[in-house]
Structure 1
């Protein structure tokens, strides 16, 4: 996973900056994440964490699979996987000697690294279908009340108060 400017693949510098700022804010026990006097939304922080974890899991899984299919040392295989995910074009000489499965795996890594794992996950997820049943809003208030009040509400529907 390389750190790069936006036109390239890998984890972007802004994503890395959000991760570092999040760690800094948690260490300092701060409420929100602020970068250059701009507060980041939780959605952006969650997206950066999700993207980083997906990227890390993908590179680790690809490295493990390449270690099984190829007869090379671990650091060479790891370098090839990270290089493919970052689409840098750098190799330690293993890429031309890969088996068919290894070549396909490197192709998938390059494609996912270029499009982004989160973008690909959003594209492949099934469309949201609305549920035919809706959960009433009172349920969330009921969850906050004590168990006795909930039982009282069920038994004596008229007299219970939340």
Structure 2
């Protein structure tokens, strides 16, 4: 079913300014990168620059599948979502071009990534080096949400 067909059940498309506000209020999502057989999905925290791009910090080791796939693909899809109940949720899907940010430009972007959520383990490991900063330039975005009981649902459950 399409989003338009699901509107009668309470699903709504989000306007661009609502999507930007949603992205600004959150800091984690799931990055999807193409592979030969199935997509590679990885949870990531992000910094947001209010509309044009997200910024990801990759923790690198001796090898990084995430970094290798990012370099090979150059494009990806990113999903940010928030679920409170079965009838209160939002999700935003972004398509974009991904490129490594040269270290000389990190100072200009650092403020955008400071509020990104990171598990303590990754914060500690990041201070030991081996990190890269990537820009996800947003080329397409869409957001949907449901903000209450679907029309007609309450009548079906109340005596």
The TM-score, its normalising length taken from structure 2, stands at 0.22
Which structure: greater strand fraction? 2
| Structure with the higher helix share, 1 or 2 | 1
